[in-house]
Amino acid sequence: MFNKQNVKEFRSDFQQAVAKLEEQYGCNISLGTISFDGSELRSKMTARKGEKIVKATKDDFQIGDAVGINHKKVNPNDMFIIYKINSKNIGVKGANGQMMRVSPSLLVKK
């Protein structure tokens, strides 16, 4: 029977199990949101070619840092400057003046 604790353990065990595949194929494998009920769990798995991306926390950044955003809808070459650090997200400003709030786990230092 699946419960919240089992699912958390499953996610960490899954990451350990696919570490060999990541090394063998030179890609990053991540598990998306996990939905579950008593007898099954469902999730989307994504494998991307490239370097291993370490998820950052808000403590890894300072105001004025130049960062990129690791998201499929954002150009990986775009550069943003951090202008505000909130408790759960970080405010960034793009070259064209576009301002947005982003989860720290999506930010990559440039």
Mean pLDDT in residue range 55-67: 91
Average model confidence (pLDDT) for the chain? 91
Mean pLDDT in residue range 66-92: 94
* Tokens matching residue 22: 């990541």
Residue 1 in this model has a pLDDT that exceeds 90: no
> Which whole-number Å values give the CA distances from 14 to 6, 9, 32, 57, 79, in the listed order?
12, 8, 12, 22, 33
Residues 6+ apart with CB under 8 A from 56: 104, 105, 107, 108, 109
Give CA–CA dist 86/39, Å, rounded: 39
Do 91 and 82 meet the contact criterion of CB atoms below 8 Å apart? yes
Give CA–CA dist 6/12, Å, rounded: 10
Residue 104 in this model has a pLDDT that exceeds 90: yes
Mean pLDDT in residue range 48-69: 87
pTM of the model: 0.59
Give the pLDDT score at 102.
95
Q: pLDDT (tens digit, 9 = 90+) per residue, 11-58?
A: 999 999 998 999 899 898 988 899 999 889 999 999 988 777 677 888
Percent of the chain having pLDDT more than 90? 62
